[in-house]
Structure 1
Amino acid sequence: MQVAKPVGRNAPALKYDIISALAVHALSEDKHRQRSILRILTLITTRYNWRTNELSIGREEIARLWSVNERTVKREMARFRGQGWITVKRPAARGRVAVYELDLKQMMLDTSAIWPVIGSDFRARMDHQPEPVTNVVPFKVSTNANLPDGEDIWGQVQSVLHGRDPELWASWFQHLVEADRAGGVATLMAPSRFMADYIAQKWTGRVLAAYARFDPSIRSVRIEASE
């Protein structure tokens, strides 16, 4: 499934589709999950920049929108990062609020069970999203090399990452090795400092979301360089 960037002529329809999927998914869950998804929907509809995929907002403002305290905001945002729905693009600093990115594709994948409830036309649209238009020539890589057999947890995590985005997996995730998994932390080794830093900055949330499917005790992922 591809989720096209919600800009251009079809942007309004795609935005409604994403919001509809989240709302119907929420209504199929228990009251705690409903409230959690309502909170992310609130951030999307009030502060999210669809064009740049940026959510620029401070913890104090989130607390005001959600009618909660900042402690609850910290806990809920950590939960969204664990699901792979939100990543920190730029951390907060003095005089500057944090900037987050939303992973719309992960959100839609996590709501896919309710697509038929919305309607067959909705499911057809989601299953046949067009490839994003770009003038960048993709770097071709083999997407089947060294795919783990999925027998252990790390192998299953790798299989999920591969299934979601084979080219991204082949470029980055397949080079990771699980060094340790204890105390709620999974430690992964990358072959270079550059790769470790880049994956840690861009994709930790996605890796953590994949872990959550098989080992919910994992609450954070640490990526280190083996060199």
Structure 2
Amino acid sequence: MLARKPTGRGASAIKYDLLTAMGSFALSQRRGSQLLVFRLLTLVTARYNWQRDHLAVGQREIARLWDVDERTVKREMAKLRGMGWLTLKRQGARGRVSEYGLSIERILEDTEPSWEAVGPDFVYRLSQEDEPTSNVVPLRAGEAAPKPDTSDGLEWSLAKALLHEEDAATYSSWIAALQREDRVGEHLTLIAPSRFHATYVVTHLKARILSACRDVDDTITNVMITA
């Protein structure tokens, strides 16, 4: 499924596909659910940072955008988190708004029944590169990856060495194939060999990867994994 970071070549198509999936799904729902999804769609279109997977908007601003009161905003955002469509990255505090990420994999899973209404080309585009449904089968079962080379001194090479030492089996199956794409300030971007691979790593291993990266370079605050 669509799990790549929606930036670079083809980014617009990826974004439009996700927004189309959300819109088509909303139109098939009852009014309450329909309105909730359209509210999120509007918020994402207006304020979501696709490159950083970052949504940081105050309740007052969201209330103005949605033409509702702040209590409604609080309730609707809680529903979206409960659905798994939004993930809380950092809780708001005095003088700082809450920060969210968009759970693209979960949104696509939930909206899949409505893809056919858009057309067979849409279904094909979002379904291609799917892997077996089990998310615990290693991509290179039985093949152990060698200990990573750290001679280049890059943060990702050093972090890979730590991850290999911690759990060689998981490293061989899911981490060894991740390649360093670039580093922009505090953000490190890694490339996975497939969308399924990227989705699995984001869901199950991203926290471990970020921790290892911070162990070797504490200026890293975020690791993006794309396909």
Interval of TM-score (by shorter of Structure 1 and Structure 2): 0.5 to 0.7
The TM-score normalised by the length of structure 2 is 0.59
Write the deviation string for residues 41-92 of structure 1: whole angstroms up to 9, x where unpaired.
Answer: 0110110000000001011111111111111111111111111111111111
Match in the other structure for 1:53: 53
Instruction: Tell me the percent identity.
Output: 44
1:139 aligns with 2:171: yes
Whether the aligned pair in 1 keeps the contact of 2:2 and 2:104 (CA below 8 Å) is no
Whether the aligned pair in 1 keeps the contact of 2:2 and 2:108 (CA below 8 Å) is no
Q: What do you get for the CA RMSD once the two structures are aligned? A: 2.7
Match in the other structure for 2:114: 114
Letter of the 2:172 counterpart: K
For structure 1, the residue ranges without an aligned partner over 5 or more in a row are 143-164, 173-227
- Against the structure 1 CA distance between its residues 55 and 129, is the aligned structure 2 distance closer, same or farther, given a 3 Å change threshold? farther
SS at match of 2:7: coil
Write the deviation string for residues 5-58 of structure 1: whole angstroms up to 9, x where unpaired.
Answer: 100010001101001010011111111111001100011011000000000101
Whether the aligned pair in 1 keeps the contact of 2:22 and 2:37 (CA below 8 Å) is yes
Kindly state the Cα deviation for residue 139 of structure 1 after the two structures are TM-superposed: 2.1
1:85 aligns with 2:85: yes
Distance 1:33 1:58 in 2: 22
- Against the structure 1 CA distance between its residues 168 and 16, is the aligned structure 2 distance closer, same or farther, given a 3 Å change threshold? closer
Whether the aligned pair in 2 keeps the contact of 1:4 and 1:130 (CA below 8 Å) is no
Kindly state the Cα deviation for residue 167 of structure 1 after the two structures are TM-superposed: 6.1
SS at match of 2:87: strand
Whether the aligned pair in 2 keeps the contact of 1:6 and 1:51 (CA below 8 Å) is yes
SS at match of 1:73: helix
- Against the structure 1 CA distance between its residues 120 and 169, is the aligned structure 2 distance closer, same or farther, given a 3 Å change threshold? same
For structure 2, the residue ranges without an aligned partner over 5 or more in a row are 132-155, 161-169, 175-198, 207-227
Distance 1:75 1:170 in 2: 28
Letter of the 1:27 counterpart: L
Match in the other structure for 1:19: 19
- Against the structure 1 CA distance between its residues 119 and 86, is the aligned structure 2 distance closer, same or farther, given a 3 Å change threshold? same
Match in the other structure for 1:99: 99
The count of aligned residue pairs is: 147
Distance 1:129 1:23 in 2: 23
Higher Rg: 2
Match in the other structure for 2:41: 41
Kindly state the Cα deviation for residue 118 of structure 1 after the two structures are TM-superposed: 0.8
Distance 1:59 1:167 in 2: 31
Distance 1:50 1:171 in 2: 21
- Against the structure 1 CA distance between its residues 104 and 69, is the aligned structure 2 distance closer, same or farther, given a 3 Å change threshold? same
Letter of the 2:65 counterpart: L
Write the deviation string for residues 136-194 of structure 1: whole angstroms up to 9, x where unpaired.
Answer: 8782359xxxxxxxxxxxxxxxxxxxxxx66678769xxxxxxxxxxxxxxxxxxxxxx
Letter of the 1:103 counterpart: S
Match in the other structure for 1:151: none
- Against the structure 1 CA distance between its residues 141 and 130, is the aligned structure 2 distance closer, same or farther, given a 3 Å change threshold? closer
Whether the aligned pair in 2 keeps the contact of 1:92 and 1:98 (CA below 8 Å) is yes
Distance 1:58 1:170 in 2: 29
SS at match of 1:89: strand
